[in-house]
Amino acid sequence: MQRGRLRVLLGAAPGVGKTYAMLEEGHRLASEGVDVIVAVVETHGRAATAALTEGLETLPRRGVEHRGVTLDEMDLEAVLARHPELALVDELAHTNAPGSVNEKRWQDVEALLAAGVSVLSTVNIQHIESLNDVVRQITGAPQRETIPDAVLRAADQIELIDLAPQALRDRLAGGRVYPAERIDAALSNYFRLGNLTALRELALLWLADEVDSALRDYRTEHGIDSTWEARERVVVALTGGPEGETLLRRGARIAARSSGGELIAVHVTTQDGLRSANPGALAQQRALVDTLGGTFHQVVGDDVPRALVDFAKAANATQLVIGVSRRSRLSAAVTGPGIGNTVIRESGNIDVHIVNHEAAGGRFRLPKLGGALSARRHIAGFALALIGGPLVTWLLHLARTEESITSEVLSYQLLVVLVALVGGFWPAVFAAVLSGVTLDFVFVQPLYTVTIDDPAHLVALVLYVVIAVIVSGVVDLSARRARTARRAAAESELLATVAGSVLRGEGALQALVSRTRESFSLAGVRLVAGEQVLAVDGEPTRGGDFTSIPIGTRAVLELHGGVLAASDRRLLAVIAAQLDASLEHTDLRATAREVGPLAATDRVRSALLSAVSHDLRRPLAAATAAVTGLRATDVELTTADRQDLLETADDSLRTLAALVTNLLDVSRLQAGVLAVTVAPIDVEDAILPAFDELGIGPHDAELDLAPDLPPVLADAGLLQRVIVNLLTNAQRFSPDDTPVRIATSGFRDAVEIRIVDHGPGIAPDRREDVFVPFQRLGDTDNLTGLGLGLALSKGFVEGMGGTLEPEDTPGGGLTMVVSLPAARDQEGTAR
């Protein structure tokens, strides 16, 4: 019997439309003549989903008794007896009721597939077993129903049912996912925008990896070795050397240029372990790979280039990043082409990037003036003369004839020129004398003597020497000018770096000190101001040579382990000037940091004085007038008049006391001296007294307090004031016929208090303004205080280690969310 096919619709979260899409596909296939039945569909009370089941044959469910409750489950025996072509089975990760044939619904699906029945099913990303811990970290909620990865990966077809996070929240707020009483809790917990975005990314990445695996299997089955550039994959080869960080960052930039680019780092070790990398550097580079969002791999192979290319092809890489060889030219000439050349030759259609780095040519240093050619060039010239002279003599002696004297002279002349080009003046003179004597001794009559009978022979020897001097002089002049040019370029690079370091600001001192040590090949450099070390690089105590350069009147630059030439001191004067400018820049920045808070304090003080002069005038005037009326002797006051005046004075003085208290609290908040006593308390112990303080009754507000909430770490008095302020605002803006709502819920290791109103709300771009002191968002009635309520509330909550954030209320309005840390027991769990 042919096995049935499994097709799974994968979603990032409940409500994205998996069941709806499954039923739509069932209708489409049924219209094409496919025998389709609905084995089980979970509508969760959604009318639109339930309506789609009409027109499709639906098998009755089987009732299972469990602890006196009848649970409806899919009737596996009935589906097998009916044996349709396609069965629609919702929620693949569902756990069956105790007493069912199988524990899990996916096991029922396996039975259907084995019987030749194809299945179309649904599952959410949070139900995949391997992702359970990741989903719990994202949402804070554990998933008890999971499905093994192998079951899902064995599906013949997996399709993603995708929906943008905000669109899903809008669908949820519109009541198309959960009933109205569950909307607020869902929006504030599982269906947060950040949670949905992370779950969506997780679903996309999981499916992309599944597609990758299928692509690899297909290429393996069909023997396809070439790269298919479905997306950019950048493989960075790490040796464990100092260039690793440079290569990784370059690879990350290449991968970031394309959407979905992937960074892969690989280190090749040999089987005998002879090529051992620096373990510390490799560990740091591995940590950097994780920071850059890449993956690290280690492979074993004696042929490093071949191992690199094989790994890149197996990873379906499009780019391969390697560093320039750290070998010298002599080593390269002796040992042959390096890894880079071999990788380029073997890579096929993989693009190879060879990245230059500091380790390629040693650290940056200024070339030395004085002397045109190096000692190595001189030694090479003498060696060429000593080896080339006998070799030329032997070859010419083998081919010697009576008329060959001209070619013999020119051959020795060529040798002299070559020696001059390689070694300069003295090796050329040595080669000229040696070749002249050899020519006279071996090829000029009388043979095998150094007697010069013919003056022309003496002239030839002199000409040899003159030619050697001229050619070597040209070579020496060219080398001198090349070295001068390199010196000038290096000085320009140093000056550009120095200027750039000053412009960059924060790290200028350290950058200048480090560059100075590298440029002049010093053991260490320090910048000190009195007893304080401002910047240091290298080992300043090593070596006996020491130079001290004053940096204005602020500091001293100490140079250890090297003697500086006059030309170096000219550059050091430039560096000293830049260090002086950088120190001045640092001093000015420190002064600006000191002045900034003073300016802010001055602005707050000005606003405070302006607000105090305006908003305190009304209660003061009212209280003064009431007291004056009570003290008047020329007016006969009735008992009612006296009572009104006393109430006016009492209300005005109470308002005045509240305003002054708020002003003092704001001052303490801004000064950072707010006294907060945090202890475990129940949120109800702060909410109910706040209701009593405001005189709020059952008709003025709705309470939705979650049971079994852990205590929170808070100051009871401050928390009560926060709730009073928020409830006052909510009542003020909420319509008269719509009561405010206060709800509590637990989320991860925090407890949230939500004060919900259905007023006009606040535009997203103005939400930060409501927490600024003396802001009333355009109110001009001057009857609502100084505009300190929300500023104080936010300061109080943050002082207790929590957060206060505004959110939109579904259907319109504003929800203020107070989040406070849950108290923990001695075992570290929320209690």
Q: Is the C-alpha dihedral spanning 666, 672, 673, 675 positive or negative? A: positive
**CA proximity to 201, closest of 253, 263, 135, 157:** 135
Report the alpha-carbon distance of residue 798 to residue 804 in Å, rounded: 8
- Name the amino acid, one letter, at 277: A
Q: What average pLDDT values come out for the chain (831 residues) when binned by 10 residues?
A: 89 88 92 92 83 89 74 88 92 86 90 93 89 77 82 88 85 71 62 80 79 64 57 84 84 77 83 51 82 82 82 83 68 55 81 74 45 72 86 83 73 81 78 78 73 67 70 70 64 57 57 73 81 79 68 81 65 75 77 67 55 62 77 76 80 71 57 65 85 76 81 82 84 82 81 86 71 49 48 77 84 85 61 53
Structure letter (DSSP) for residue 131: G
- Name the amino acid, one letter, at 210: E
**CA proximity to 735, closest of 809, 785, 817:** 809
- Name the amino acid, one letter, at 436: G
Q: Tokens 């957060």 map to which residue?
A: 803
Report the alpha-carbon distance of residue 581 to residue 586 in Å, rounded: 9
Provide φ and ψ at 581, rounded to 5°: -65, -40
- The radius of gyration computed from the CA coordinates of the chain, to the nearest angstrom, equals 43
Q: Tokens 């030329």 map to which residue?
A: 392
Q: Tokens 């009073």 map to which residue?
A: 724
Report the alpha-carbon distance of residue 775 to residue 780 in Å, rounded: 11
Contact in structure between 317 and 227 (CB atoms under 8 Å): yes
Q: Is the peptide bond before 446 cis (omega within 30 degrees of 0)?
A: yes
**CA proximity to 486, closest of 569, 360, 367, 362:** 367
Provide φ and ψ at 334, rounded to 5°: -80, -45
pLDDT at position 368: 46
Report the alpha-carbon distance of residue 276 to residue 282 in Å, rounded: 10
- Please give the helix or strand (H or E) that residue 713 lies within, else none: strand 712-714
Q: Hey, what are 375's tokens? A: 């000692």
Report the alpha-carbon distance of residue 150 to residue 155 in Å, rounded: 9
Contact in structure between 146 and 125 (CB atoms under 8 Å): no
- Alpha carbon 263 to its chain's center: 13
Q: Hey, what are 219's tokens? A: 């290429």
> 2 exposed, middle or buried (CB, 10 Å; 0-12, 13-18, 19+)?
exposed
Report the alpha-carbon distance of residue 586 to residue 593 in Å, rounded: 11
Contact in structure between 501 and 453 (CB atoms under 8 Å): no
3-state secondary structure 480-496: HHHHHHHHHHHHHHHHH
Which residues lie below 8 Å from residue 782, measured CB to CB, with a gap of 6+? 614, 615, 618
3-state secondary structure 362-408: CCCCCCCCCCCCCHHHHHHHHHHHHHHHHHHHHHHHHCCCCCCHHHH
Cα angle, residue 329 at apex, residues 326 and 333 outer, rounded to 5°: 115
Contact in structure between 122 and 9 (CB atoms under 8 Å): yes
